[in-house]
């Protein structure tokens, strides 16, 4: 399993836990989980953007 797949699975697991909690969470834990989910989403977006840019640069040829 690659980094992106692991990140996506972790994000999905966290979203599911927020929708269907496996236990009662304190308000502080819920706030933390929301922040963690946002951080995972940001990481995934940054990774996807960086990967796309890297692929474009890899296949862009220059005559200079």
Give the contacts of 30 (CB within 8 A, at least 6 positions apart). Answer: 18
Task: Select the more confidently predicted residue: 58 or 3.
Answer: 3
Q: Where are the domains of the chain?
A: 3-58
Class of residue 23 by CB neighbours under 10 A (exposed 0-12, middle 13-18, buried 19+): exposed
Kindly report the pTM of this predicted structure. 0.71
CA distance 50 to 12: 21
- Per-residue pLDDT tens digits for 23-39: 999 999 999 999 999 99
**Which DSSP string do the residues of 9-40 spell out, in sequence order?**
HHHHHHHHHHHS-SS---HHHHHHHHHHHHHH
């Amino acid at each position: 399993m690659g980094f992106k797949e692991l990140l996506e699975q972790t994000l999905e697991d966290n979203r599911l836990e927020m929708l269907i909690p496996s236990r009662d969470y304190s308000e502080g834990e819920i706030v933390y989980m929301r922040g963690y989910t946002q951080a995972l989403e940001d990481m995934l977006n940054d990774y996807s953007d960086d990967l796309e840019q890297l692929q474009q640069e890899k296949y862009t040829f220059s005559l200079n």
